Structure 1
Amino acid sequence: MGAGIGGLTLATELRRRGLDPQVYEQAAELREVGAAVALSANATRFLRDRLGIGEQLAEKAADIDGLIFRDGRDGHVIGRVSSRQEYHDRTGAPYYGVHRADLQLMLKEALGEDALHLNKKCVRVDDREQAAVLHFADGDTVEADLVIGADGVRSRLRRELLGYDDAQFSGCHGWRGVVPPEQIPSLPDPESIQFWMGPDGHLLHYPIGNGDQNFLLVRRHDGPWAEKSWVVPAEEDEHLTAFEGWDPAVTEMIGSAPATQRWALFHRPPLQQWSRGRITLIGDAAHAMVPHHGQGANQSIEDAIVLADCLLEGLGQGTGWDTARQRYEDLRAARVRRVQITSLATADVLHLPDGPRAEARNARLGAADFWERSLAWIHEHVADRVLTPVVS
């Protein structure tokens, strides 16, 4: 349930392998949430090799040329990690920046229109002995052998499993934007993904397929998040005021896109169990994380592939759905927990005040072994390698 990246990936893979998944999405049309997504090798290998959308991705996405850390005030390079070719050689797959709407369209076409049901808001799931029954706001009901909750960071199914809303504010808020290249002539290394760091804030940006730069501007937030909504109207030029005095390339970029909304960055703590009865969670519904490692969508894709493999393995070996779902959770829980925790910690590292700790951070970011020590475990991971091969 849910036509985000994880839900569409899972359904497409299950259908490719002979099952009949149906996707129910509450929106009347697929709309972007955030303009773009960075897809690292731990996800693109499956989109290319399993789902068969590698050519479409290559046409629509920007193939990112390495990672660069800069000082946000004067722009000098602190660390430069992995060129495009080095990344391909190390991981065996590309690192893409792509418009989220383009990716959703590719996945929707790979799945097939007949398996996608829009304007279907689920209001209740009855977990009965013979089947789960989904009740929708329009009065329809559907029976299912399994219900996969791919309904995102504000997952209704997660709340049903827990009995309460466990969202936690990370202590940061941010502004998002997309800027065409002609408006940012001062930007160095426009084909790379870059972090510009400074006390209490940072700018992350990367290219997408049409040459635009997608950015996330993050600032520390004093005190708890007191607003009712996670997204609030932004005051005029508040993001420019928050980063006044930063490098001209930064202020040029963030000044070229109207920031009409400010986003609170929430996450959810690791669960002890991702399944109950016939319901299983994947993606943000299972492990919503802050975006400082850029791994939300990528971990959802890993989830989808591993869950699909476990379900097919369970069918092939006759061990049943429950065993398959427990195996999926056993294979995924430790990895996503580590990504969640390190993503949270990354904000603290990026936002250090000037002084000895920031100098030590800069030395680490510029070290020759930074990739091996800090990034290889994320990007070089092959999620299905631990599974028994399944013939489909």
Structure 2
Amino acid sequence: MSSTKVIIAGCGIAGPVLALLLKQKGYQPVIYERGKRAPDAGLSLMLQLNGLRVLSSIPGLIEKLPGMAIDQTMIYSVVPSDERVLVQSSFPADLRLKYGHGQFGVQRPKFIALLADMALANGIEIHFEKQVVAVEQTDEYARVKLNTGETDTASFVVGCDGLHSNVRVALFGKEDATFTGLTQTGGITSSAFLDQKPTMFNFYGDNIHVVAYPVSDNTYSWALTRREAETKETWRAMDEDAQDAVRNGPFSQLPFGVGYLVQNAQKITKYGLYDRPELKSWHVGRVVLIGDAAHPTSPHLGQGANQAFEDVDHLVRLLVEHHPNAETEPSAAVLSRVFAEFEGVRMERTATLVRGAREAGEMRVVEGVENARARNDALCEQWAEGGSAWRGMQDMLNPK
């Protein structure tokens, strides 16, 4: 008998991981991806304990990750007249020692390419430059329409197509993404902080927050967040004149190595930070959303990709629980139970983290020297041994 076919919209972060885990369980996943085979958009992401646990269930993947494990966290103030070390912590290494995984920085294009390579190597069908633009369904099947005019049919469809999800629009209508009031300017810089063990740095200033972490043994990725006018989310590199203006601008004079990161960046990109209103449901019939298509978030907790992986893990677990034989087609009633239980497990947790990420951005980027100093003092207290930052990180990365 043939396996149950599943159409996955999107071959970015969640799509290929979902496909690989479904393949393990006997399903026939087919991926449609609007982009090209070798992506170059975006800079990096931090794989955290909760996401790494899911990735470790794919044989051989963890060993091939293109990046660097993090050993420590350091937090600095770059506020004029208040330049100092606020926090130094071995939290990432402690996580790895206790749980087997900690925090791992990867370059986004290389990571996405690796996931696609592994999916293809496992016999998963991927159609690049073919975008799902519409979805229709009956009690027996779901059908997608592609930008090429072609259609395809499967037992069910999973929308993993990101912030600008066409599958979400097909289910719930068009809505505007919400600009958070913050932008990020980021880049990749070689030979930064080589005198330090692999470290995640946070630099807090007046209307500035910078995060930096290694994505190879001699390369750091960094992102500078500010409160300013809206900038569209393109994830593409700025033109050379704009990049040079950043390299030679005021950020290049920031202390504690931040200026070096900016001055020597290989590629600089700038983008606005967006999220969307919470949905009351993530599914209709035989179609369900996961990852950024369901619960897009600003990046300030580093949980966007990791929550997508949690989605994948729970969705596959529930499919196996309610429909253990992938050689038979799941009924509409079975899928309704799976998707409803999936939402019950995931919606509250992801909504809490989306709100937490927005609050973290508001806390990080404050204006005025006195406000910035007060925030710095609060950070020192929160990161003291046993403080709220420690407890919050533990709860976020190691949920009950």
TM-score normalised by the chain length of structure 1: 0.87
1:311 to partner: Cα distance: 1.2
The reply on whether 1:68 has 2:78 as its aligned counterpart is no
Residue identity matched to 1:333: M
Question: SS of 1:322's equivalent?
Answer: helix
Query: Do 1:24 and 1:120's aligned partners in 2 also have CA atoms closer than 8 Å?
Result: yes
Q: Residues 228 and 340 of structure 1: is their aligned pair in 2 closer, same or farther, counting only changes over 3 Å?
A: closer
State the distance in 2 between where 1:271 and 1:239 align: 40
Q: Report what 1:217 is aligned to.
A: 224
State the distance in 1 between where 2:115 and 2:237 align: 30
5+ long unaligned stretches in structure 1: 383-392
Q: Report what 1:388 is aligned to.
A: none
The reply on whether 1:256 has 2:264 as its aligned counterpart is yes
State the distance in 2 between where 1:350 and 1:308 align: 36
1:36 to partner: Cα distance: 1.9
5+ long unaligned stretches in structure 2: 1-8
Q: Report what 1:387 is aligned to.
A: none
The reply on whether 1:379 has 2:385 as its aligned counterpart is no
Q: Report what 1:8 is aligned to.
A: 16
1:135 to partner: Cα distance: 1.2
User: Cα RMSD (Å) of the superposition?
Assistant: 2.5
Q: Report what 1:306 is aligned to.
A: 314
State the distance in 2 between where 1:42 and 1:166 align: 30
Cα deviation per residue 1:88-147 (whole Å; 9 max; x = unaligned)? 134331311122233223322332354211121222211223211111122221001111
State the distance in 1 between where 2:145 and 2:159 align: 14
State the distance in 1 between where 2:252 and 2:237 align: 21
Q: Residues 240 and 329 of structure 1: is their aligned pair in 2 closer, same or farther, counting only changes over 3 Å?
A: farther
- Counting only pairs closer than 5 Å after superposition, residues 173-212 of structure 1 correspond to structure 2 as 173-181=183-191, 184=192, 189=196, 191-212=198-219
Residue identity matched to 2:136: D
1:261 to partner: Cα distance: 3.7
Residue identity matched to 1:338: T
State the distance in 2 between where 1:359 and 1:229 align: 32
2:142 to 115, 132, 138: 132
- Counting only pairs closer than 5 Å after superposition, residues 1-392 of structure 1 correspond to structure 2 as 1-57=9-65, 60-73=66-79, 76-112=84-120, 113-181=123-191, 184=192, 189=196, 191-222=198-229, 225=230, 233=238, 235=242, 236-238=244-246, 241-243=249-251, 245-247=253-255, 249-257=257-265, 261-316=269-324, 320-352=334-366, 353-355=368-370, 357-370=374-387, 371-381=389-399
1:313 to partner: Cα distance: 1.1
Q: Residues 121 and 340 of structure 1: is their aligned pair in 2 closer, same or farther, counting only changes over 3 Å?
A: same
Query: Do 1:151 and 1:157's aligned partners in 2 also have CA atoms closer than 8 Å?
Result: yes
State the distance in 2 between where 1:350 and 1:45 align: 28
1:244 to partner: Cα distance: 6.1
1:258 to partner: Cα distance: 5.5
State the distance in 2 between where 1:98 and 1:259 align: 16
Identity of aligned residues (%): 25
State the distance in 2 between where 1:333 and 1:30 align: 32
Question: SS of 1:22's equivalent?
Answer: strand
Cα deviation per residue 1:276-316 (whole Å; 9 max; x = unaligned)? 12211111111111111111111111111111111111103
Question: SS of 1:381's equivalent?
Answer: coil
Q: Residues 128 and 18 of structure 1: is their aligned pair in 2 closer, same or farther, counting only changes over 3 Å?
A: same
Query: Do 2:300 and 2:357's aligned partners in 1 also have CA atoms closer than 8 Å?
Result: yes
Query: Do 1:152 and 1:283's aligned partners in 2 also have CA atoms closer than 8 Å?
Result: yes
Query: Do 1:283 and 1:299's aligned partners in 2 also have CA atoms closer than 8 Å?
Result: yes
State the distance in 2 between where 1:240 and 1:332 align: 44
